Amino acid sequence: LDEHDEALQEERSPTWHARDVLLERCRRWSVPCTLVSPVPTVTAVWAARAQSGGAASSSLAGRWPIIDIIDRNDVEPWRRRQLSSPVIAALRDHSKRVLCVLNTPGRSRLLACRSCAALIRCIPCGATVAQRGDDSLHCVRCGAQRPAVCQSCSSTALANVRPGVSRLAEELTAAAARPVLSITAETDELPDGDVYVGTEAALHRVSGVDRVAFLDFDTELLAPRYRAGEQAMTLLMRAARMVGPRERGGRVLVETRLPDHPVLRAAVLADPARFISSELGTRRLLGLPPFAGLAKLTGSSVAEATSQLGATDRVQLAPDGDALLVRAADWETLADVLGGLPRSTTLRIAIDPPR
């Protein structure tokens, strides 16, 4: 149940995912396997198609809240962030309990074009890109590299997007005209109140709210991880469960510069399958799981592993900071090649890394 839940993947190496273990056991025993989720992962849908010819789906429409997409393209991305009027209206409505979700400070690294205000993205895969010392743009999701030029207008003047989290907290208090309680990973006891602000972890902590507002959803949508889209969909799902269906007034607000992103289109239509279909196509083209095997190597022995793995052409290597991404045509090849590395406590291997 809830196949999309990241808690089903073991955090310790070798990072088993309960779904994959279950699928393999069922295959060996020749018994049917049923995976249930309101927002199944691409892997689950692909497995269902491979084994039984398809995924059954029932409409979420009756159980889904209203998803308000608030297009923030009216504000230049490098200016100080301001709350949108729908969010301010939600905060001012004192009959409603509100949770505002913000990313962890420092995790968001977005670049924007100073000339046309587009967010700078990887051309093959659409993720956010990082600017390197030599001024090239680099994507850690798919490894693509290109000169630091806007993909929309070819301008070379790029600016950092300023999330301004601390100012935003002050602004929330001013807009709400009631106390705004912040929740962090260190918050033990949940303070009693009607307006909360916190990272996505708050979606597991708070209950009984009427509104969830995502204030920087683009950093989720464009996160440099190949599963960013389905993880973003999972966040919307959690928020949807929290506020309840539209008949009972449930409403989720999403501030974004990407109102036409497939995740948001699917969410508005209460139809996650729409997103999964487009995502399956993208993954196939880019050679990402489930159409390839992927592992992330970390630890102090990465350099040695890199030189050893460099000797075979059965895997592709892509450095990601201090880590190394290893990709093979399938899981068997990946396991075979990684199995040839010397066992070491200074090398951590995460198979199909969630983050």
DSSP states along 127-194: -B-EE-TTSEEE-TTT--EEES--TTT----EEE----HHHHHHHHHHHHTS--EEE-TT--SPPP-S
Q: Which residues of 108-125 are buried (b: 16+ CB within 10 A; e: fewer)?
A: bbbbbbeeebbbbbbeeb
# binding residues, Zn ion (CB under 5 A): 15
Crossing angle between the packed helical segments 42-52 and 272-286, to the nearest 10 degrees: 90
As measured in angstroms, the least distance from the Cβ of 125 to Zn ion is 3
As measured in angstroms, the least distance from the Cβ of 354 to Zn ion is 18
Q: Which of residues 97-116 bind Zn ion (CB under 5 A)?
A: 113, 115-116
Stretch of 5-13, 130-138, 155-163, 205-213 contacting Zn ion, by CB under 5 A = 155-163
Tally the C-alpha atoms within 13 A of residue 237's C-alpha that lie toward its C-beta.
21
Where helices occur in 6-93 by DSSP H, the ranges are: 18-29, 42-52, 85-92
148 scored as a contact of Zn ion (CB under 5 A)? no
Residue pair 251/213 in contact (Cβ under 8 Å)? The answer is: no
Among 125, 232, 242, 288, binds Zn ion (CB under 5 A): 125
Nearest residue (CB) to Zn ion, 116 versus 174 = 116
Among 87, 150, 175, 266, binds Zn ion (CB under 5 A): 150
Stretch of 81-89, 104-112, 150-158, 187-195 contacting Zn ion, by CB under 5 A = 150-158
139 scored as a contact of Zn ion (CB under 5 A)? yes
Nearest residue (CB) to Zn ion, 150 versus 233 = 150
Q: What are the CA-CA distances from residue 246 to residues 42, 63, 114, 145, 249 (Å)?
A: 27, 7, 39, 43, 5
Strand boundaries in the chain, DSSP class E: 66-71, 98-101, 111-113, 130-131, 136-138, 145-147, 158-160, 181-183, 195-198, 211-214, 251-256, 293-298, 315-320, 323-328, 348-351
Nearest residue (CB) to Zn ion, 63 versus 225 = 225
Nearest residue (CB) to Zn ion, 134 versus 189 = 134
Stretch of 123-131, 159-167, 182-190, 275-283 contacting Zn ion, by CB under 5 A = 123-131
137 scored as a contact of Zn ion (CB under 5 A)? no
Among 72, 141, 257, 283, binds Zn ion (CB under 5 A): 141
As measured in angstroms, the least distance from the Cβ of 298 to Zn ion is 20
Nearest residue (CB) to Zn ion, 61 versus 116 = 116
As measured in angstroms, the least distance from the Cβ of 122 to Zn ion is 3
Among 100, 122, 223, 242, binds Zn ion (CB under 5 A): 122
Element (H, E) at 274: helix 272-286
Among 104, 152, 199, 316, binds Zn ion (CB under 5 A): 152
Among 91, 142, 326, 334, binds Zn ion (CB under 5 A): 142
Nearest residue (CB) to Zn ion, 125 versus 295 = 125
Which of 345, 300, 308 is CA-nearest to residue 326? Answer: 308
Q: Using CB atoms within 10 A of its CB, is residue 25 exposed (0-12), middle (13-18) or buried (19+)?
A: exposed
Stretch of 27-35, 125-133, 208-216, 233-241 contacting Zn ion, by CB under 5 A = 125-133
Nearest residue (CB) to Zn ion, 153 versus 190 = 153
Q: Where do contacts with Zn ion occur on this chain (CB under 5 A)?
A: 113, 115-116, 118, 122, 125, 127, 139, 141-142, 144, 150, 152-153, 155
